[in-house]
Structure 1
């Protein structure tokens, strides 16, 4: 068999072996059998909360096992096809086999990254807050571009996005927005995006067509379910209501339905205006506040992550995690991992996997040889 095919085979087999070890393969299979038996027990559904937790655990483990088994099946099929093509000296078929092996290798690489998502809340949905920073109208427009970028990333990965709060900029873009991203491992992936994002471009708002630098911050925290108890003293929380702004129809602009909660001891504030009533927004805001406080606790316990206060920096020079340069050249570069690309349009359309993967591997201190 050709050397390039053998090399691809070796790489994929190494990935599969690593995935098996990280999954603790044999115990994982036994655990999956146990979970399957529990899900099939009709009495389990007499306890809805427990049933949902068991079902979620089973689905996640089954997906991990199937990912490995699928790679093994597809590798065997591709190698068989390549061997047949080699024996028949069919270059077209051999090239097709190479393409199959590359696709399997890419899947294996992503599965390796998925295996790193083993943090306490990595599998959860995520809240994403975007705030414009230094730069006025420019930064509001940049914040709006980031909102679009993360929405497109989520949609490309089969996740749904709901905007919970949005405050329009005075002339363009947004001053702030909070969205909920719902999908497998949403928080695990998006947590790598927290920080300040810097844009350099020719301003569309400057008649002199000068180059401008804009900043916006991204803050990510997990959606917590009812199985995670976060005790908050109501006396420590200030509640403000106000008239909602931004898109939302006639009702949202006529009543003081928007709710902002501020946790006084920590200064953490959340806001929601997506619901039609103050009651709905208050309930959602409390969920967001519990999630923010839970994420703060995760930050304190996660040795590989930055300390919480280190992430709450000024939205401006010296604090950015990634630079997006559109003029005088085109380049997006992550300042933590040095990953870069000249495909700025692709990145702004949501092609963020390379940046997320590198940041995730660095964050957990994992490498291929770990």
Structure 2
């Protein structure tokens, strides 16, 4: 993101369709009610939470429950001028940038990386409705082209008894976020119902009984911006490449969790406030298992020649009754010598795991060393069974591993 502070009372245009566009607007408006805000969009439902689109396809939620704010609220309360465009991926950005806007904000807009006849790129509510109609006309199989990101829709479609295939690019598709040992646990214990196949782009054929969905095989909208306009534009989400805070490498994502954080950060920074930055994040449900990765896994760090220490723990996950019937598996990764925390992989069949995923991401964003983190107050008391903090216990174990290297 290229961040240039915007003074109050300016003319700002946002280009986007997903929840990060509306999140940016609402946060900016909290601090500046004088600036004029325009939204260029290609949907009647701007602000969609993308992970809800498969639920709309399955008629398990409705469109208005899947957006941040309704259109009337944007126009009448937040005073946003909405400008319709037929297709944001074909928007002439140089034309937009040459107009009298003080700032242009490009939010999540991605493009398919593959061209498949009669496929649906699932990014808008209109796409979800179209996909639903295609399935209702008669569908022998749903094909999701998405790699790791396609796990969520594949899980939902297959759980509703639709034969589903998730297409991936190669056998190591998971390694960007998960190590092989964790991935094998997921495959063994998640009880997922869809097939996983490596895609052969030369062998994709048209079949009206096989519905093709693109959800993950995507690339960012922006490649480069004319030098003349670099100070005028900021881009977040899937429209661009994100710079990671932990080790300063670039990555592409379609994570709405990261995009929403980027929207809040951009609004704060444009108005002169400090914001943290972000790192990689993946969260989904695969079969019956919640799976998440924050920051970096060991195998993804190997290509940067970063020496790591790792620990993996399987612990009881206690609910309020203290039964400990569920388990949580956490794998922590740290720099071998600096002891800087670099990532977590967390999986469990219990939704209670989500609070530890949130905590794990927050701990990573603190950017401290293991020495500093284990000095914090924790509910974990050694040998006290019912007061486990599985995240802290994993960090403590990881710290112990780094002692081997001085």
TM-score if structure 1 supplies the norm length? 0.24
Structure having the higher Rg: 1
TM-score if structure 2 supplies the norm length? 0.22
**Greater fraction of residues in helix:** 1
